[in-house]
Amino acid sequence: MNEASLKETIESLKGIGDKTAKVFEKAGIVRIEDLLEYYPRNYDTFEDVVKVSDLKSGNTVAVRCQIIGNIYAKNIRNMSIITFDICDITGKAKVTYFNQPYLRSTLKQGHYYIFRGLVTKKGNTFCFNQPKIYQPEDYFALQGTMQPIYPLVKGLSNNMVVKAMQQAMESAVYMKDPLPSYLIEDNNLMEYRDAIKNIHFPKDKHTFDIARRRLSYNEFLFFILRLRILKLTEEESVSTAVMKKSELVDRFLEKLPYDLTDAQKRVYKEIEADLTGSRVMNRLIQGDVGSGKTILAFLALLITVENGYQGAMMAPTEVLARQHYEDICNMAKEYDLPFRPVLMIGSLKAKEKKENKKGIEDGTYNVCIGTNALIQDTVNYKNLALVITDEQHRFGVRQREKFAGKGECTHVLAMSATPIPRTLAIILYGDLHVSVVDEKPASRLPIKNCVVGPDYRPTAYRFIEKQVSLGHQVYVICPMIEEGEMNDVENVTDYTEKLRKELSPSIHVDMLNGRMKASEKDELMEKFANKEIDVLVSTTVIEVGINVPNATVMMIENAEHFGLAQLHQLRGRVGRGKDQSYCIFMNTSESKDAAARLDILGKSNDGFKIAEEDLKQRGPGDMFGIRQSGDLFFKIGDIYADSDLIKKASIDADRILGDDPDLCKKENEALHKALAGANETIVL
């Protein structure tokens, strides 16, 4: 192999044909270099085997035990359940498997196996649900290693990625380091090719930490450099769409059945000053969940339309885009506003897309709501003056640039409900002026929270039944999506089956996970919004989703595995209507630190305070926690665990551009090339 092999397609690897290559392509992997930059989302480590007498509820452990007695099998509601007892010389435990009937014939009574999984306790009996099974010699061979666990798409298994990655490692030696030598030396960084190798197959925890630090620094530096360059360009942009103050906004606000909060009024004045000023607006509205950011976006659209221009609003999902479109339509009708809205999403039929594009281009429509379909090359606007991105941390820098580029010197308004400590926001939102909506409407009842252990589950299930009987709906969150990825967390598929068994048969329970197609997710969320589903079991994909005021309960399983800020985001899916809402944090760990962290959420609904606590409490060790989409995150760096690294990258970015603003010096040649051709791997 040589340097050119990095550009070869993955079909050059053994065992990958055309069909398999298409599956990899769904994950964004086409070439060998794409594969090498497809980092693990987690690692499996294999702890020492413990005795049954040392088991503690909430811990993930491995035990070497013998199967004793009979292996029992039964079927309940089309779900097969297998149970049996295991023991060592110090005691015994009970093991249960769901929907794995083959185990009854493959497991042998009297044989020794290693069972690894989460320990729970029922009465005086220790239990394992769905533990992973190893032959003792296989498990002992894995001890002391860190096995990568990759993000997956439908049809792609972790084993497929590992096998391909092992082959691709031969090409890693030809990867050029994008950083100049002075940055590597000053920051004591690992060589890039070594970091790539050790992020996939780390020799040990220490080597992994060094590799992750190097790759995180790369991400932060590239991102901050792009922001600095972008800000320099924007500061020179003179507005070609200077607007007049709006009379319609004043009349509209008088008719609203509620008053804006003081924070909303303050932020609106800032938006109005931008739109009527001589410079192009580049503003972020940062507000906690439920603080009323969306109405401010609609006011900005109203000013824009009244002045004869088009405005566009981009949402990360079709469900959210459709919700905004319907809200705009209803508002236009109820308050006689001059909105002529159109919806642009990927699932529209070809004829409808064609007609909508024509109407956008000739000015028939003055408010364009959609997903990233709005920034397709075939979508042209007549006189676009304002672009708004909702949940803007879901969009990359280049997507934001392309959206703004659809007009001439377009005003930019971004919205985010992700609370970020101010010290980091200054760096991460360096290209935007930040407005903070720091109070909620008085009509919103604060969410009631409780942090409980597994023994509380039966009580929680009865509470869920009561809420459903009152006509309300419920979210239940589980971190993982299928058996075998991690055994110390509740499994969404199996959990859904268990929940159906525990709850009344009249309650409709359904499941949503991140591996579903976008159309499948949207269809389920629409059903939930239309009250066709009572309880929705989900991964964190509902973090950004449709507004369902009727949902009053959020129950989060294995809450100790999430960051505080992410838990707060999840909690924000309830408490959006007039009824009292509740959030149940299920803590399955016996760790005092985990209990202390979750106690912060139990006592506070303030996202910014929680973000500050998250920053104080989390550290690099948390990188072994679960990383799910939805948290404001980089591909591998973590803004909370790596806050010091972000600050260092910010200082280095200022130093680089201060000395070489165009990155034209020889020593910055590789950096310039990497920056210009960097993949959009950052979602901020």
Clarify whether residues 17 and 166 are in a common domain: yes
Largest Cα–Cα separation, the chain: 83
More reliable by pLDDT, 337 or 233: 337
Structural domains in the chain (count): 4
* Beta partners for residue 342, in sequence order: 368
**H/E element, 118:** strand 112-122
- The Cα-based distances of 553 to 140, 337, 522, 566, 586 in angstroms read 43, 35, 21, 17, 13
Clarify whether residues 424 and 289 are in a common domain: yes
Token pair recorded at residue 622: 């948390």
Q: Residue 265 domain-assigned?
A: no
* Beta partners for residue 97, in sequence order: 82
Of 573, 604, 635, the residue at which a domain comes to its end is 604
**H/E element, 255:** helix 247-255
Give SS3 for 475. Answer: strand
Q: Please report where in the chains the tokens 């791997």 appear, as a residue.
A: 681
Q: pLDDT for 410-451, tens place per residue?
A: 999 999 877 777 667 777 777 788 898 988 887 778 999 999
Q: What is the pLDDT of residue 429?
A: 75
Domain holding 540: CATH number? 3.40.50.300
Clarify whether residues 134 and 167 are in a common domain: no
Q: How far apart are CA 374 and CA 556, in angstroms?
A: 34
Identify the domain containing residue 123 by its residue range: 49-142
Clarify whether residues 365 and 510 are in a common domain: no
Mean pLDDT of 579-588: 94
Clarify whether residues 403 and 512 are in a common domain: no
Of 437, 456, 486, the residue at which a domain comes to its end is 437
Domain holding 63: CATH number? 2.40.50.140
Clarify whether residues 522 and 405 are in a common domain: no
Q: Residue 432 domain-assigned?
A: yes
Q: pLDDT for 456-468, tens place per residue?
A: 999 999 999 999 9
Clarify whether residues 481 and 563 are in a common domain: yes
Q: Please report where in the chains the tokens 């296989």 appear, as a residue.
A: 138
Clarify whether residues 285 and 425 are in a common domain: yes
Q: Residue 128 domain-assigned?
A: yes
On whether the CB atoms of residues 203 and 672 are closer than 8 A, the answer is no
Token pair recorded at residue 79: 């779900």
Clarify whether residues 117 and 170 are in a common domain: no
Q: pLDDT for 589-606, tens place per residue?
A: 777 777 888 888 888 888
Mean pLDDT of 634-652: 87
Mean pLDDT of 152-173: 91
Of the candidate ranges 115-124, 170-179, 194-203, 478-487, the one whose mean pLDDT is the lowest: 478-487
Clarify whether residues 425 and 334 are in a common domain: yes
Clarify whether residues 463 and 418 are in a common domain: no
Count of helix runs (H) and strand runs (E) in the chain: 23, 22
Clarify whether residues 455 and 345 are in a common domain: no
On whether the CB atoms of residues 57 and 127 are closer than 8 A, the answer is no
Q: DSSP assignment of 31-79, as one string?
A: BHHHHHT---SEEEE-PPEE-GGG--TT-EEEEEEEEEEEEEEEEETTE
Of the candidate ranges 113-127, 256-270, 319-333, 424-438, the one whose mean pLDDT is the lowest: 424-438
